[in-house]
Amino acid sequence: MRAGRDGRCAFVAGARPGEPPTAAWTCAVLLGKVALQAVVVTLLANLEMHRFLMHSLWAVCIWNLVAMAVDASAPFVQYAMGMPLNPSMNQPYLSVTIQEFWSQRWA
């Protein structure tokens, strides 16, 4: 992975902020979510645990399934429409205030 002119890793996102992520980054994120799902399902199937922890893991499981469905379908939608989809967030973890988060970092 090489760094771009602005010092960011070229593998992580497009050339400029606000551009859609690269295909390699999308695949890496999807593989990470598949691995997380495998760990959560294994924990749920093989361990006796407190009910709160079990329900929390089920919530993570459902959230992760929805996130994987969206990530997996995005390239097909982009291909069918013939244009890239814009990301819905612009590095929201860098927001300093709530106003900045909702006005600039959230599309």
* Residue-wise burial string across 71-94, b where 16 or more C-beta atoms lie within 10 A, e elsewhere: beebeeeeeeeeeeeebeeeeeee
Q: How many CB atoms lie within 10 A of CB 40?
A: 19
pLDDT at 1 over 50: no
Cα dihedral 105→30→43→57 (10° resolution): 30
Write out pLDDT tens, residues 19-47: 666 778 878 888 999 999 999 999 999 88
Provide the pLDDT for residue 46.
87
How many helices (H) and strands (E) the chain has is answered by: 3, 0
Q: Domain coordinates of the chain in residue numbers?
A: 23-85
> Which comes out higher in pLDDT, residue 55 or 71?
55
